[in-house]
């Protein structure tokens, strides 16, 4: 089978194939794409991956094994600033120029099936009316992000383009009915195929480690990921466990927000309890930090199916999160595989954290069920098996 993927982040995966290593901090650590590509590369299929990047002055093609990467420059002269500026310019032209380049590649490669990863940017837009079987894998909804930032003109434009994708696409990959309902409300004929992105196989095999903190958080340090909620919950937990230790791993996207969070921590007298580790280049180091924790807490406000939660499940670290979007499917509607509480309920968040920390029986129950679930739904081998079966089904 000849497969073509459209995705936003794979340059992170190409570091080994460039003479000068890329700066990881400039790229999203899309480990789910790395895991998919690595496994597909082992199979007897021809895979072409198309992405765009402003860091090159000309288009490039890189081939390794069964995978060929088509890297398209955005054609902007100031090539060192990064993705966001150019995405805003491109979006207001409906990505016309880049779609034209992508359609030329599709025509030349002549794939059996085209898979767009995510509805953001131009990926899924490029599959509309191409005359080739195609499918869009949902990574989240722009409309959900817009709801928390309704005055962002870029997100308003992106949400309109996303809606166009929903209306004009026949096949989608989703992991829960929350996303299905939104899609089918706009396109009653849409076919939904169920699958979740895989996680690193290393997560299933890491040895036990002595805890270096009670609570671990992994994610971008932004309000939407719930880092403020975690800080507030920690202040409640501290009333019961005075020496509670929290480590926060992730990229600090805004210096102003960093100042705000530190002021918040100081005001709650949590300076000795919360430690910001920052960005870790090697994802294995992230897994090791989670493994050396007693509970993983991600009070995210909007998320399709957080990889960090899936990895914690595979690492046998109990999870506490909000009951939003795809999280209940992962952790169970009745706390079978992790503890979930209503969005914004800080008291319940703190209470769940304490419940897990204070009960080895509860912790063991959650992690046993979670590990089994992760093996079935997040391990790369069965995920790729199912993905190839979905391609065969839509051909």
pLDDT in tens, 149-198: 777 777 777 778 888 888 999 999 988 777 788 888 889 999 999 998 89
Question: Are 228 and 249 found together in one domain?
Answer: yes
Residues 6+ apart with CB under 8 A from 17: 62, 64, 69
Question: Are 189 and 234 found together in one domain?
Answer: no
User: Tens digits of per-residue pLDDT, 267-290?
Assistant: 999 999 999 999 887 889 999 999
Q: Which two tokens stand for residue 61?
A: 């093609």
Quote the percentage of the chain above a pLDDT of 70.
87
Q: Are 309 and 330 in contact (CB under 8 A)?
A: yes
- Which contiguous run of DSSP H or E holds residue 105? helix 96-109
The pLDDT value recorded for residue 38 is 82
When divided into structural domains, the chain yields a total of 2
Residues 6+ apart with CB under 8 A from 212: 245, 247, 289, 292, 293
The SS3 assignment for 338 reads coil
Question: Are 361 and 281 found together in one domain?
Answer: yes
Containing structural domain, residue 6: 2-196+379-394
* Verdict on whether the full-model pTM lies above 0.85: no
Question: Are 333 and 386 found together in one domain?
Answer: no
User: Tens digits of per-residue pLDDT, 82-140?
Assistant: 444 444 566 667 777 788 889 999 999 999 999 999 887 778 888 998 999 999 998 87
Question: Are 167 and 208 found together in one domain?
Answer: no
Question: Are 214 and 362 found together in one domain?
Answer: yes
Question: Are 388 and 372 found together in one domain?
Answer: no
pLDDT at 245 over 60: yes
Average confidence score pLDDT of the chain:
86
Question: Are 254 and 225 found together in one domain?
Answer: yes
Question: Are 74 and 154 found together in one domain?
Answer: yes
Question: Are 80 and 133 found together in one domain?
Answer: yes
- Distances, alpha carbon 270 to alpha carbons 14, 98, 238, 346, in Å: 40, 48, 8, 16
Closest CA to 218 of 305, 277, 271, 262: 277
Question: Are 108 and 165 found together in one domain?
Answer: yes
Question: Are 85 and 150 found together in one domain?
Answer: yes
Maximum average pLDDT range among 76-90, 134-148, 211-225: 211-225
CATH at residue 243? 3.40.50.2000
């Amino acid at each position: 089978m000849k497969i073509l993927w459209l995705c936003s982040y794979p340059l992170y995966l190409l570091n080994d194939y460039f003479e000068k290593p890329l700066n990881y901090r400039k790229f999203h650590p899309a480990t789910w794409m790395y895991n998919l590509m690595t496994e597909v590369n082992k199979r007897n299929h021809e895979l072409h991956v198309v992405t765009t990047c402003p860091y090159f002055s000309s288009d490039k093609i890189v081939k390794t094994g069964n995978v060929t990467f088509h890297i398209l420059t955005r054609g902007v002269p100031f090539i060192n600033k990064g993705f966001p500026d150019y995405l805003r310019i491109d979006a207001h032209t409906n990505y016309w120029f880049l779609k034209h380049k992508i359609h030329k590649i599709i025509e030349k490669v002549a794939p059996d099936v085209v898979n767009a990863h995510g509805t953001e940017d131009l990926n899924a837009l490029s599959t509309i009316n191409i005359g080739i079987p195609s499918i869009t894998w949902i990574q989240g909804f722009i409309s959900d992000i817009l709801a928390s930032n309704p005055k962002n003109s870029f997100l308003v434009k992106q949400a309109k383009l996303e809606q166009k994708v929903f209306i004009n696409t026949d096949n989608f990959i989703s992991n829960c009915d929350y996303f299905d309902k939104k899609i089918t409300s706009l396109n009653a004929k849409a076919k939904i195929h169920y699958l979740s992105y895989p996680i690193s196989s290393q997560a299933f095999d890491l040895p036990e480690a002595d805890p270096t903190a009670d609570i671990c958080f992994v994610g971008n340090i932004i309000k939407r990921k719930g880092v403020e909620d975690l800080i507030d919950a920690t202040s409640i937990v501290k009333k019961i466990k005075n020496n509670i230790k929290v480590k926060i791993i992730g990229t600090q996207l805004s210096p102003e927000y960093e100042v705000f969070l530190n002021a918040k921590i100081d005001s709650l007298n949590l300076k000795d309890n919360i430690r910001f580790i920052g960005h870790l280049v090697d994802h294995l180091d992230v897994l090791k930090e989670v493994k050396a924790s007693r509970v993983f807490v991600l009070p995210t406000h909007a998320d399709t199916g957080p990889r960090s939660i899936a990895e914690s499940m595979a690492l046998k670290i109990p999870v506490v999160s909000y009951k939003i979007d795809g999280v209940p499917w992962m952790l169970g509607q009745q706390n079978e595989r992790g503890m979930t509480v209503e969005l914004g309920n800080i008291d319940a968040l703190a209470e769940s954290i304490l419940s897990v920390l204070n009960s080895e029986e509860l912790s063991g129950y959650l992690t046993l069920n979670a590990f089994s679930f992760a093996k079935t739904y997040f391990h790369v081998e069965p995920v790729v098996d199912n993905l190839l079966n979905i391609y065969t089904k839509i051909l």
